[in-house]
């Protein structure tokens, strides 16, 4: 039975089918009968493409008329008989050989080729050797042997006669197309790269006694893995079984930062400082440590900076202490508290250098060390300060802290801006929200009556403007950011851990009132009662 396939066919595909050898009948049927290992054996790529278009439906809009297409079941090739005289596979004479004999002769030859040694030269006189078998040498092109068997036996009588006569004058030579495993070659090339690649080292820049010191970099060399694999596979396409030496593609590895580039850095393109005089020892230690970690950063053109990646992890091992920081409108103790002052100071220096800001977040509440909307908070990976060197030259970031508790960031580069052009920044308060009432948090992990309070914080909405003047006249005013700082009421955290149900009930009632003053008064009464009881007990010798 013939299996019908229904579909539509583009006009150009009908021509393709006809050109590929399909028979076309007046009833609109296309019929084919191919032989071989699969339904497309012996078919040209055009035939296969046309058939797949029918199976998958319309592929473009220029459609011809609908039609039915029926496929004749596959016909297995008859592999009996012998190969005609004058047919070779490479240098193997296949005259009079059966299909099985021919396949065996080729496999024997490929087996003899498998011991050939293939040497791959890499870097610095190093190389690796492997046999052809190690590189996955295989041969499976048995269909070509079947094609050779059919020479002089297929087609019409004229075609068969012509093929036989041609063999009397010229032999027909088929190639033995061996294959190698590309993944194996890739693995060897990558391993050689890991062993012998010499990475370039970038030039470095530092400051000593107020002067820049440039240390030159060095060139390296490395294997171009993709180009090497392509070269090796191409050379193996012509493999004949002889030992073979192939050079991998080795390229020079150029430093990204050269001494010549870094020597250009000499101009101050941005600077800003803030004070941490009111900070305690631990917070001061965090500010100094964060500044130290940023100091000395060099960014080439197009490179980006992440504050979080530069100063993390926030651990004691990395030089941090427990200090106050903001968390959801509350001041909490955390390792690295104060690092946001480092980030905010650098943010303002970057603004003045007019570098590209990629990410910046304001705090949940205002901070005292910079103006409204001039802060840059960092918090884990959810809040980061990032920027990109969008100039045409490298930049150097210098961060210092002074004895009088100033943190100063200076960005050095190549000044290309006109000297009569001045950039400044103005903070604008859009709105102000005064918090109302008190917020009381009961904490069962703290002893009954313990109270810690946090003052109220006014909420603000602010904008930061970039103002450009040329010869003293304003030429540009651009909004840099709009920041919202949430209002936070006066907050108290009250301990409720006790074995005294009556005392607990009194404190809970006070908490329910929503007044911190009422809670303080209740706790005071409980403390007075406890002191009086203790005094009475002492008086009676209890």
Q: Give the helix ranges, DSSP H, for 263-413.
A: 281-294, 307-311, 339-353
Taking a C-beta distance cutoff of 8 angstroms, is the pair 340, 377 a contact?
yes
| Distance in angstroms (rounded) separating the CA atoms of residues 338 and 324 | 7
| CB count in 10 Å sphere of residue 245 | 12
- Residue 487: strand, helix, or coil: coil
pLDDT in tens, 434-489: 999 999 999 999 999 899 888 899 999 999 999 999 999 999 999 999 999 999 99
Q: Confirm if 310 and 255 have CB atoms less than 8 A apart.
A: no
Separation of alpha carbons 394 and 412, rounded Å: 9
Spatial strand order of the sheet with 244-247 comes to: 127-131, 117-121, 244-247
Token pair listed for 383: 């809040």
Residue identified by tokens 């019929």 is 31
Q: What is the pLDDT of residues 217-255, one digit of tens each?
A: 999 999 999 999 999 999 999 899 999 999 999 999 999
Over the chain, what is the mean pLDDT? Answer: 85
Q: What count of other Cβ atoms lies within 10 Å of the Cβ of residue 69?
A: 22
pLDDT (tens digit, 9 = 90+) per residue, 300-334?
A: 999 999 999 999 999 999 999 987 666 655 566 67
Which residue would you say has higher pLDDT here, 31 or 96?
96
| SS3 state at 220 | strand
Q: Do residues 351 and 338 touch, judged by C-beta distance below 8 A?
A: no
Q: In this structure, how many other beta carbons lie within 10 angstroms of the beta carbon of residue 24?
A: 12
Q: Is the pLDDT of residue 408 over 70?
A: yes
Tell how strand 438-447 and strand 490-497 pair up: parallel
Q: Where are the domains of the chain?
A: 3-71, 264-412
Q: 24 pLDDT exceeds 70?
A: no
Please answer whether residues 13 and 6 qualify as being in contact, where contact means their C-beta atoms are separated by less than 8 angstroms: no
CA distance 352 to 457: 29
Question: Are 459 and 435 in contact, with CB atoms under 8 Å apart?
Answer: yes
Cβ atoms of 32 and 40 within 8 Å: the answer is: no
Question: What gap in Å lies between CA 52 and CA 256, rounded to an integer?
Answer: 50
Please calculate the CA angle 218-222-224 and round it to the nearest 5 degrees.
140
pLDDT at 327: 61
Q: Is 220 buried (19+), middle (13-18) or exposed (0-12) by CB count in 10 A?
A: middle
**pLDDT of 154 higher than 90:** no
155 — pLDDT class (breaks 50, 70, 90): confident
Q: Quick check: helix, strand or coil at residue 124?
A: coil
Q: Which residues, 6 or more positions from 355, have their beta carbon under 8 angstroms from its beta carbon?
A: 270, 387, 388, 389, 390, 391, 395, 411
Tabulate helix, strand, coil % of the chain (nearest 5).
30, 35, 35
pLDDT in tens, 114-139: 999 999 999 989 999 999 999 999 99
- Binning pLDDT at 50, 70 and 90, where does residue 52 land? low
* Per-residue pLDDT tens over the stretch 342-398: 999 999 999 999 999 999 999 999 999 999 999 999 988 889 999 999 999 999 999
Nearest by Cα to 492 from 328, 325, 330, 280? 330
pLDDT of residue 324: 61
What is the reported pTM?
A: 0.66
Assign 3-class secondary structure to 181-199. CHHHHHHHHHHHHHHHCEC
Separation of alpha carbons 177 and 158, rounded Å: 30
Which residues are 252's β-sheet partners? 221
**In the prediction, which pLDDT does 536 show?**
74
């Amino acid at each position: 039975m013939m299996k019908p396939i229904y579909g539509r066919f583009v006009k150009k595909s009908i021509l393709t089918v006809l050109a590929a050898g399909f028979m076309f009948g007046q009833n609109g049927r296309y019929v084919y009968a191919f032989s071989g290992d699969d339904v497309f054996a012996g078919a040209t790529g055009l035939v296969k493409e046309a058939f797949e278009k029918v199976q998958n439906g319309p592929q473009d809009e220029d459609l011809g008329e609908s039609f039915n297409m029926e496929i004749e079941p596959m016909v297995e090739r008859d592999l009996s008989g012998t190969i005609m005289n004058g047919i070779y596979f490479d240098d193997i004479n296949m005259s009079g050989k059966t299909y099985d004999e021919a396949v065996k002769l080729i496999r024997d030859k490929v087996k003899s080729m498998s011991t050939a040694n293939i040497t791959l030269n890499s870097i610095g006189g190093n190389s690796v050797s492997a046999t052809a078998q190690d590189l996955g040498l295989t041969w499976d092109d048995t269909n070509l042997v079947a094609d050779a068997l059919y020479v002089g036996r297929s087609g019409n009588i004229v075609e068969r006669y012509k093929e036989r006569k041609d063999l009397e004058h010229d032999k027909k030579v088929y190639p033995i197309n061996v294959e190698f495993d590309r993944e194996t070659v890739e693995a060897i090339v990558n391993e050689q790269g890991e062993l012998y690649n010499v990475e370039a080292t970038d030039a470095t820049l530092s400051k000593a006694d107020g002067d820049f010191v440039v240390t030159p970099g060095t060139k390296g060399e490395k294997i171009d893995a993709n180009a090497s694999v392509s070269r090796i596979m191409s050379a193996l396409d012509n493999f004949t079984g002889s030992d073979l030496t192939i050079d991998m593609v080795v390229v020079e590895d150029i430093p990204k930062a050269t001494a010549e580039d870094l020597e250009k850095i000499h101009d101050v393109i941005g600077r800003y400082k803030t004070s941490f005089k009111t900070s305690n020892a631990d917070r001061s230690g965090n500010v100094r440590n964060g500044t130290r970690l940023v100091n000395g950063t060099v960014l080439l053109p197009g490179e980006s900076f992440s504050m979080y990646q530069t100063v993390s992890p926030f651990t004691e091992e990395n030089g941090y202490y427990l200090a106050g920081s903001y968390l959801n409108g509350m001041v909490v103790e955390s390792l690295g508290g104060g690092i946001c002052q480092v980030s905010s100071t650098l943010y303002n220096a970057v603004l003045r250098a007019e570098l590209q800001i990629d990410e910046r977040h304001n705090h949940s509440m205002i901070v005292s060390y910079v103006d409204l909307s001039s802060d840059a908070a960092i918090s884990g990976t959810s809040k980061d300060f990032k920027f990109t060197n969008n100039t045409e030259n490298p930049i150097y970031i210098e961060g210092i802290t002074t004895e009088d508790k100033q943190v100063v960031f200076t960005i050095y580069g190549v000044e290309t801006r006109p000297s009569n052009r001045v950039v400044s920044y103005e903070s604008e308060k859009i709105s102000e929200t005064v918090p109302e009432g008190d917020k009381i948090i009961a904490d069962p992990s703290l002893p009954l009556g313990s109270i810690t309070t946090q003052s109220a914080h006014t909420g603000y909405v602010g904008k930061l403007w970039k103002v450009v003047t040329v010869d003293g006249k304003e030429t540009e005013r651009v909004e840099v950011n709009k920041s919202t700082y949430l209002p936070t009421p006066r907050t108290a955290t009250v301990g409720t851990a006790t074995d005294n149900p009556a005392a607990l009930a009194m404190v809970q009632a006070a908490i329910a009132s929503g007044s911190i003053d009422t809670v303080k008064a209740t706790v005071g009464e409980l403390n007075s009662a406890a002191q009086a009881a203790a005094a009475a007990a002492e008086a009676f010798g209890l």
